[in-house]
Amino acid sequence: MDISKSITEYTRACKVIPGGVNSPVRAFKSVKGNPLLINKAKGARIEDIDGNSYLDFVSSWGPAILGHAPDIVVEAIREAAIQGTTYGAPTIMETEVAELICEMVPSIEMVRMVNSGTEATMSAIRLARGYTKRDKIVKFAGCFHGHGDSFLIKAGSGAITLGLPDSPGVTSSVANDTLIADYNDIHSVEKLFSSYPDQIAAIIVEPVAGNMGVVRPARGFLEGLRIIADKYNSLLIFDEVITGFRIAKGGAQEYYNVMPDITTLGKIIGGGLPVGAYGGKKNIMEKLAPVGPVYQSGTLSGNPLAMTAGFVTLNYLNSTHGFYDMLEQKSARLEAGLKLILEKTGVDGVVNRIGSMLTLFFNPNKTINTFQEVMMSDTELYAKYFHLSLENGIYLAPSQFETMLISAAHTDDDIDYMISAGEKSLNLLSQR
């Protein structure tokens, strides 16, 4: 496989961009390779600048639930761009997207648009602190909520991928206000609240962990968080930047029937354009300026192109009968196939899945339910599998600690090819 142009262009990028990338996990550092520079994408496939085509199971880290460049979204963006790309003033489309989000997500009564998932989580924490008049937050080891200072303490995603769970530049005062619990361990949360009963503003959690690979909540875990938050007059924040509109129309809160006070969203709600949002109960959201005292703003918030792309995408998900059943069928097919080839080849591995989110962990455990178990994964073996997959035309996340994301554009033939290519790769790995 020739990737000479990607190598040349990555070398060029490194001279003017730190690490040659604008988001760290893209650098392929943990898989010891050269990142591919992508030229175009359509449906379930992406193509690099050398002309190599790949079946894509990254889906731009989540937004491409309809596949890349779906015609209905591209046409809507084209028509919107003709009218102008940014106004710095309100538009009707902002209201229509907000109404759609409030209709689809069970706990959201009001919503504020921002420009990224990170901006959404940072703003949600500020709102929670302003509402409760408390400073501390509880987060979970291995969960990632963007690169806000409060979240870069025992974080997931690129932080653990690069071996940087704590970032220089995070002040000690911020660290002191961030309390770390263990995902799927409700007793660790109870212990923190017992120690700081009147100081914790909020619990923030990925209701399904997706940034240490897919880890589902244990039975009663989310319900337990809701009970604790209510008991201590704290807020419960669900970070649904990944799970929102992906595992169900109303996200993880609909799937598990546990309602948070604030929800953060991103990825899918922009239809492939940069966007984020946070929403919740009206009495909480009305603490935001200009109605209330908690300040947050953004020049490009509610950008007309992002709102248009998001509206078309969400409206499609909301109105297409059987969409999530179809996505479940494709994803279950992939899960079953990967489990079978692990069994046939004898390679130690665990497949965790919920909806169209799936992770193949190269791991000696029989099940993976905690961050500690996740960290027993063989990242060297994953790196080898990753490169063998590329050679077979499969594009995976360049990190063991991420999730495959299946889209509506993946066909059954695509899934079957992924399974057969995976078997070929695992056979080679089992012989080494």
Pair 327, 213: CB distance under 8 Å: no
What's the pLDDT at 311?
A: 98
Q: What is the pLDDT of residues 127-159, one digit of tens each?
A: 999 999 999 999 999 898 887 767 766 554 554
What's the pLDDT at 420?
A: 97
Q: What is the DSSP letter of 25?
A: G
Q: When comparing pLDDT for 33 and 169, which is higher? A: 33
∠ CA 88-89-93, nearest 5°, is 110
What's the pLDDT at 79?
A: 97
What's the pLDDT at 172?
A: 73
Round to whole Å and give the CA distance between 103 and 348. 43
Q: 149: how many CB neighbours lie within 10 A of its CB?
A: 17
Pair 255, 95: CB distance under 8 Å: no
Q: Residue 108, exposed/middle/buried by CB under 10 A (0-12, 13-18, 19+)?
A: buried
DSSP assignments along 294-355, one per residue: B----TTTT-HHHHHHHHHHHHHHHHSTTHHHHHHHHHHHHHHHHHHHHHHHT---EEEEET
Q: What SS3 string covers 186-228? A: HHHHHHHHHHCCCCEEEEEECCCECCCCCECCCCCHHHHHHHH
Cα torsion 257, 259, 265, 269 to 10°: value is 50
For 11-47, letters b (16+ CB in 10 Å) and e give eebeeeeeebbeebbbbbbbbeebbbbbeebebbbbb
CA 156 to each of CA 140, 144, 179, 282: distance values in angstroms, whole numbers, following the listed order: 9, 5, 15, 31
pLDDT band at residue 101, thresholds of 50, 70 and 90? very high
Residue 162 pLDDT greater than 50, yes or no: no
For 330-354, letters b (16+ CB in 10 Å) and e give bbbbbbebbeebbeebebebbbbbb
Mean pLDDT of 381-403: 96
Residue 221 pLDDT greater than 90, yes or no: yes
Q: What is the pLDDT of residues 263-298, one digit of tens each?
A: 999 999 999 999 999 999 999 999 999 999 999 999
What's the pLDDT at 152?
A: 65
Mean pLDDT of 45-53: 98
Q: 322: how many CB neighbours lie within 10 A of its CB?
A: 9
Round to whole Å and give the CA distance between 202 and 134. 9
Q: What is the pLDDT of residues 309-340, one digit of tens each?
A: 999 999 999 999 999 999 999 999 999 999 99
Pair 280, 109: CB distance under 8 Å: yes
Structure tokens at 95: 């209201």
Round to whole Å and give the CA distance between 181 and 187. 9
Residues of the chain with CATH 3.90.1150.10: 4-69+322-430
Pair 309, 77: CB distance under 8 Å: yes
Q: What is the mean pLDDT of the chain?
A: 94
CA 327 to each of CA 65, 122, 214, 295, 318: distance values in angstroms, whole numbers, following the listed order: 9, 31, 17, 39, 14
Residue 164 pLDDT greater than 50, yes or no: no
Mean pLDDT of 19-39: 94
Residues of the chain with CATH 3.40.640.10: 71-319
- Percent of all residues in the chain with a pLDDT value above 70, rounded to a whole number: 95
Residues in the chain: 432
Pair 109, 349: CB distance under 8 Å: no
According to CATH, what is the number of the domain 4-69+322-430?
Answer: 3.90.1150.10
Closest CA relative to residue 56, chosen from 432, 300, 407 = 407
Q: Residue 365, exposed/middle/buried by CB under 10 A (0-12, 13-18, 19+)?
A: middle
Task: Classify 71-319 by CATH class.
Answer: alpha beta
3-state secondary structure of 17: coil
